[in-house]
């Protein structure tokens, strides 16, 4: 009786665990983009708790597919609806740039409009890229960090205005990283904008070393409680007029590529932001 009971219990347990194991294996190896995943084999063969669990999973998968479909339509529509007017703006600016009757100041303003429109197109592409679960490494090209830093400084130099601020790039090395250039420009550009916003006079220095980039300003700095939450989404310090998205976006991009961002600041003495690029990406570039 003991042997028969043990054999029967083992047989029953194996039937239950086999269904659970198969269910766990199928769900665990499921691709988020796979719309053909179905658990009907359990629903049709099991009327116990495992079958109920499978039916609950199936209902959740159906809702998840509908949500993903809505998100895909949303991103496609946003991409199209944003790029179309921006392309029209760029075309109009190109026509205006050929007008010889414009003054120098008018041409400078038109150039800024063209640059802003192109930046918005690049930003839209970068944000859509960030929405993907995995980055396609085949689409990435090696980016020269010092070159991107110089371009960002030139792009944001108009923010200085008439303030006595010295902004320059000190390239002590020329590191390359495998990344989408618009995303790297977002990282460096946000750090430069924050530095210029909090600096009334003094300097904003961008230093490029072998494995890192540093943006250091002589501005107002941050209090310890502000520094601790500076990278949180939607957090705005006492003197900030932004939406609290810039630094959190920088943090997301750094996490995406395996970079490390750190902030060091003292109230009244300025802020230093350091981006340390991962050695793996640099090594992959060297091997390539």
Q: How confident is the model over 115-169, as pLDDT tens digits?
A: 788 777 777 777 777 666 555 555 567 889 999 999 999 888 888 888 999 999 9
pLDDT-based confidence at residue 95 (cuts at 50, 70, 90) = confident
Identify which of 79, 95, 90 has the alpha carbon closest to the alpha carbon of residue 112: 90
Give every CB contact of residue 251 below 8 A, 6+ residues apart in sequence: 231, 261
Pairing of strands 260-266, 212-217: unpaired
| CA 3 to mean position of chain CA atoms | 61
- E-assigned strands of 23-171? 141-144, 165-171
Using a cut of 0.85, tell me whether the model's pTM lies above it: no
d(CA 284, CA 140): 12
What are 263-277's pLDDT values in tens digits? Answer: 998 888 899 999 998
Q: Which residue has the higher pLDDT, 278 or 213?
A: 213
CA-to-CA dists, residue 17 to 25, 39, 51, 138, 152, angstroms: 12, 16, 12, 41, 58
SS3 215: strand
Q: What letter does residue 211 receive in the DSSP assignment? A: S
What are 200-222's pLDDT values in tens digits? Answer: 999 999 999 988 999 999 988 88
pLDDT of residue 38: 58
162 CB-contact burial (10 Å; exposed 0-12 / middle 13-18 / buried 19+)? exposed
């Amino acid at each position: 009786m003991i042997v028969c009971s043990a054999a029967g219990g083992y047989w029953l347990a194996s039937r239950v665990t086999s269904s659970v194991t198969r269910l766990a294996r199928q769900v665990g190896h499921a691709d988020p983009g796979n719309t053909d995943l179905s658990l009907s084999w359990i629903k049709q063969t099991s009327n116990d708790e495992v079958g109920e669990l499978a039916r609950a999973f199936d209902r959740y998968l159906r809702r998840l597919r509908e949500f993903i479909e809505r998100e895909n339509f949303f991103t496609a529509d946003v991409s199209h609806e944003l790029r179309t007017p921006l392309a029209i703006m760029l075309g109009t600016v190109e026509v205006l740039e050929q007008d010889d009757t414009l003054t120098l100041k008018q041409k400078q303003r038109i150039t800024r409009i063209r640059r802003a429109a192109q930046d918005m197109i690049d930003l839209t592409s970068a944000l859509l890229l960030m929405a993907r679960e995995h980055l396609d490494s085949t689409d990435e090209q090696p980016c020269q960090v010092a070159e991107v830093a110089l371009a960002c400084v030139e792009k944001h130099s108009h923010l200085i205005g008439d303030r006595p601020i010295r902004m320059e790039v000190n390239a002590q090395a020329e590191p390359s990283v495998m990344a989408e250039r618009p995303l790297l420009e977002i990282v460096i550009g946000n750090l430069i904008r924050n530095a210029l916003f909090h600096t009334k006079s003094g300097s904003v220095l961008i230093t490029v070393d072998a494995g890192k980039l540093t943006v250091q300003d002589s501005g107002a700095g941050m209090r310890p409680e502000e520094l601790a939450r500076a990278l949180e989404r939607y957090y705005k310090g006492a003197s900030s007029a932004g939406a609290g998205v810039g630094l959190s976006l920088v943090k997301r991009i750094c996490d995406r590529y395996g970079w490390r961002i750190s902030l060091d600041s003292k109230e009244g003495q300025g802020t230093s932001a350091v981006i340390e690029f991962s050695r793996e990406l640099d090594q992959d570039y060297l091997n390539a």
